[in-house]
Amino acid sequence: MRRLASFAAAAGATRAVYEGLRRLPPGARRVRTNHAGREVDLCAGSAVALGAAAGSGSGPVAFAVLVAGACGAYDDARGDHRRGFRAHAAALRDGEVTSGAVKLLGIGAASLVAGALLKERPLDKVLAGIVVAGSAHLVNLVDVRPGRAGLAVLALGLPGLPGGPLAAAPMGAAAAVLGDDLAERTMLGDAGAHALGAAVGGAIAAGNGRFGLAAHAAGLVAAAVWGERAASSCARSGG
């Protein structure tokens, strides 16, 4: 029953915020050009971040989700052409704080705080933080076509449903705007993808012991390394 309530609360809050943002004048809505060259709004991003946080029922997870959404929104507004951790780290060494560095540091710090609050033992706290941050990065990594991030969240959250309501919140938020995302009326952007990923990561972290945390953390680090290599390869080829 709690899982259903969490799903419904997240979906309802997401849809309410989304519809409210869509009623704003066109000039007041943030827009982005998608993969097909169409201009779509970013209303879904803020909506899923608020919906997933509202439906989580967990202070630490809601904190990580909202910070991830805020950092992603900053990147949506201020992002540049640079891709990959190394590019943003190099800029940071030169004294330039890029939007990517803001995401890396902001989401990383919020994830470690959430992990510290979700777990009791020091190693588990660190592993939980890695899982939350890594999940946020993973969902953003697959957000390359309409609906992919939302579908990934539904797939990642499903195994955690038996363990409690935390996994239901990101699933409800993603489901509330999935149809509009697939129809290319809106997109999640970095704000929505990172927020949903952090929510999924919070559910994984809360529902696993040390072995599960370590296994998930290793997989997410491997995915981040793969993504970094893909970004570097794309940059070298000019893609």
Q: How does pLDDT run across 95-143, given as a tens digit for each residue?
A: 666 777 788 899 999 999 999 999 999 999 999 999 999 999 999 999 9
Does the pLDDT value for residue 233 go beyond 60? no
Tell me what percent of the residues of the chain surpass a pLDDT of 90.
66
Q: Which two tokens stand for residue 155?
A: 């797939």
**Cβ proximity of 90 and 238 under 8 Å:** no
Q: What is the mean pLDDT of the chain?
A: 88
pLDDT at 194 (0 to 100): 97
**Cβ proximity of 14 and 173 under 8 Å:** yes
The owner of tokens 């970094």 is: 228
Does the pLDDT value for residue 239 go beyond 50? no
Q: Per-residue pLDDT averaged across 166-180, rounded? A: 96
Does the pLDDT value for residue 86 go beyond 90? no
By three-state DSSP, how is residue 96 classified? coil
**186 has which bridge partners?**
41
Distance of alpha carbon 140 from alpha carbon 39, whole angstroms: 19
Higher pLDDT, 188 or 229: 188
Q: Residue 11 — very low, low, confident or very high, per pLDDT cuts 50/70/90?
A: very high
Q: Per-residue pLDDT averaged across 190-195, rounded? A: 96
Does the pLDDT value for residue 162 go beyond 80? no
Q: Per-residue pLDDT averaged across 18-29, rounded? A: 86
Does the pLDDT value for residue 232 go beyond 60? no
For CA atoms 141, 146, 147, 148, give the dihedral sign.
Answer: negative
DSSP single-letter state for residue 190: H
Question: Of 37-41, 121-125, 154-158, which gets the smallest average pLDDT?
Answer: 37-41
Query: Which phi and psi angles does 160 have, rounded to 5°?
Result: -85, -5
pLDDT at 111 (0 to 100): 97
Q: Per-residue pLDDT averaged across 8-28, rounded? A: 92
Does the pLDDT value for residue 178 go beyond 70? yes
Does the pLDDT value for residue 234 go beyond 90? no
pLDDT at 120 (0 to 100): 95
Distance of alpha carbon 212 from alpha carbon 169, whole angstroms: 21
